[in-house]
Structure 1
Amino acid sequence: MVMVSEKPILPPHVKIVEMGPRDGLQNEKQPVSTEVKLELIQRLINAGEKNIEATAFVSPKWVPQMADHHEIMLGLKKLNSDDVMFPVLTPNLKGFEGALAGDAKEVAVFAAASESFSQKNINCSIAESIESFKPVMEAAKENSVLVRGYVSCVLGCPFEGDIAAEKVAEVAKALYDLGCYEISLGDTIGTGTPSKAQAMIKEVAKYVPINHLACHFHDTYGQALANLYACLELGVSTIDSSVAGIGGCPYAPGATGNVATEDVVYMLNGLGIETGIDLDKLVDAGVFISDVLGRKPVSNAANALLSKRAVK
């Protein structure tokens, strides 16, 4: 008689942090209007999304797509979004001050687990980047603004290859100790596999409580869903994803976009895990922005559901 092991205890609810309007669109070469971005955000809200990264307060010289951050903040106030959080990226104090002027309630800072990537991405060492966040953290605390921390290249770097889990844990701990309420661990180039993802999470969880960790996985090698499931098994209950799979990383050659929100929600629905998101309305939001960009959604679930609709 073959014994079947009990299935792992998975979280009953998963918080989705939607990356589409910021991380998704920032790498698109064609300009996307403020009106379209706000329409996308409203459609995501209509689908039930409660955490939507809206924009980035970065230099338009480096990220032209985010040049309308002030207009986006003004537009958010007009949306039907009383219970929705809109984190915005603020790499420095100047960015934070701009976000604060727009009444931001949550901001995000980003570091890397790779020295080479840190230099290529933000032109400083990891230690220097952590030091530069201190004024942001102090200002955020004074103004009761939440701060989320990102760590890039947690499962591999385009310049250094494999990254030690201990290094990821060191950077995550530094951000958590600074006051970041949540640490998002990014597989920026999508090279991770389930066993590596679990090993990394286990190491980071020695220093940052598991309920303060999020997974931000790209799907370059088609491993994102498998990696996410492996992390759910360990108790991670926050996932970053991008509607229609849009996006990428301008400083990570060859990296495709974040895992598609539609694919994540479809998987979670199948596992009986609550997200509060209406998959059909989410697919519609993905179709909307994909049409603007002139391509099909980069989501297997979305395209399968769209095919089913077409034959009805």
Structure 2
Amino acid sequence: MKLIECPRDAMQGLPEFIPTATKINYLNALLKVGFDTLDFGSFVSPKAIPQLRDTAEVLAGLDLTASKTKLLAIVANLRGAETAVQHPEINYLGFPLSVSETFQRRNTNQSTAEALTDVAAMHELCERTGKTLVAYLSMGFGNPYGDAWSPEIVMDFTQQLAAMGVRIVALSDTIGASSAATIAPLFSALIPAFPHIEFGAHLHTTPTTWHEKVAAAYEAGCRRFDGAIGGIGGCPMAADQLTGNMATENLLNFLAEVGLESGLDLAAFARAREEAAGVFAFH
């Protein structure tokens, strides 16, 4: 099972700017753990996400010499993608393609149709530069705006991505709207329908609902999971203030429960969690 650690998602909404040196120290601790991928930063407008305005400087400070972990950066448009691909250390570019038209406009200031055009251009750019595009289907399990949602709509978006050649699609539970009853049918339908796509789960959850969500995705065949140490971060539009990122600790507990090795250096994980407690002030 692939574990993608998402400190970018944990940091981006914090009002207090985390010093660049602190970010670098934390990310370097995470790079020693052995995660498949580190969602470390984003190349977006500093006005939109001021917390991550130092992503290029952070990247320059990362020690990648002894780490097998791949780097993923989020981009919000083609301009950001063009900036990101100039950094040879970055393996993946992630783009939030929303199933909700309203959220696409709020999140990237474009229509869904415009976003799909950008995705095609980004995919071609990634192919030319040796990167891989990860398409996140935001609001993949429903939205708070009343925009149409159904498994068929998610299937249609995936079909369009497949036609472009996109090889990694992560269903994103942007506001914690998912349940086992929606997660299982989606993955059960998508995974066999698109065998050339690697499907991931970027789930937001409350402390009491994480297990059923992970189990539903795993039992439906998903083997790529995003998490964040301490469950920090999440969408400010979530109805429940306890809704945050899937805690990496819970993913590790689930792996132990089903008898799978995580492949992580657990001593390094413990040290990274101590770093996280200082960065995010949790215990």
Larger mean CA deviation between 162-171 and 202-211 belongs to 202-211
State whether residues 77 and 108 of structure 2, in contact with CA within 8 Å, keep that contact through their aligned partners in structure 1: no
- The alignment's TM-score, normalised by the length of structure 1, stands at 0.83
Instruction: Write out aligned runs for 1:83-232 (5 A).
Output: 83-103=68-88, 104-160=90-146, 163-205=149-191, 207-209=193-195, 212-220=198-206, 222-232=208-218
Verify: 1:43 aligned to 2:55, yes or no: no
SS of equivalent residue, structure 1 residue 108: strand
**How far, CA to CA, are the matches of 2:12 and 2:211 in structure 1?**
23
Contact 1:19–1:53 (8 Å) recurs in 2:
yes
Per mean C-alpha deviation after superposition, the further-off stretch among 159-168 and 83-92 is 159-168
Shift of the 49–205 alpha-carbon distance from structure 1 to 2, 3 Å rule, reads: closer
- In structure 2, the CA distance between the partners of 1:152 and 1:195, relative to structure 1 (3 Å rule), is same
Cα distance in 2 between the residues matched to 1:177 and 1:252: 32
Q: 2: CA distance between counterparts of 1:90 and 1:40?
A: 22
1:112 deviates by 0.9
Instruction: Pick the aligned partner of 2:273 from 281, 286, 295.
Output: 286
Task: State the match for 1:75 in structure 2.
Answer: 61
Map of 2:41 onto structure 1 = 55
C-alpha distance in structure 2 between counterparts of 1:128 and 1:254, whole Å: 31
Query: Does the residue aligned with 2:194 lie in a helix, a strand or coil?
Result: coil
Residue 268 in structure 1 maps to residue 255 in structure 2: yes
Cα distance between partner residues in 2 of 1:121 and 1:238:
24
CA distance in 1, matches of 2:66, 2:117: 34
State the match for 1:236 in structure 2: 222
CA distance in 2, matches of 1:253, 1:121: 18
CA gap of 1:49–1:73, structure 2 versus 1, over 3 A, is same
**Conservation of the 8 A alpha-carbon contact between 2:138 and 2:171:** yes
CA distance in 2, matches of 1:174, 1:290: 41
Distance 1:234 1:88 in 2: 28
| C-alpha contact (below 8 Å) 2:43/2:81 kept by paired residues | yes
Do the aligned residues in 1 keep the contact of 2:102 with 2:147 (CA within 8 Å)?
A: no
Distance 2:206 2:70 in 1: 28
> Which structure is higher in strand share?
2
Q: Identity rate of aligned residues, in percent?
A: 27
Question: Where does structure 2 lack aligned partners over 5 or more consecutive residues?
Answer: none
Larger Rg: 1
SS of residue matched to 2:110: coil
Alignment match, 1:246? 232
SS of alignment partner, residue 101 of structure 1: coil
TM-score of the aligned structures, taking structure 2 as reference length:
0.91
Q: Which amino acid aligns with 2:253?
A: Y
CA contact (8 A) 1:112 1:171 kept: no
Q: Is the 8 A contact 1:93 1:136 kept in 2?
A: yes
For structure 1, the residue ranges without an aligned partner over 5 or more in a row are 1-13, 297-312
Using the TM superposition, give the Cα deviation of residue 82 of structure 1 relative to its aligned residue in structure 2, in angstroms: 4.2
Q: Is the 8 A contact 2:13 2:51 kept in 1?
A: yes
Cα distance per residue 1:245-270 (max 9 Å; x no partner) = 11112455656321100111111122
Checking the alignment, whether the CA contact within 8 Å between 1:151 and 1:186 is kept in structure 2 is yes
Give, as a single letter, the amino acid of the residue that structure 2 aligns with 1:224: W
- CA distance in 1 between partners of 2:246 and 2:196 (Å): 21
- Hey, which bits of structure 1, 4+ residues long, moved more than 4 A? 250-255
**For residue 168 of structure 2, what is the amino acid of its counterpart?**
E
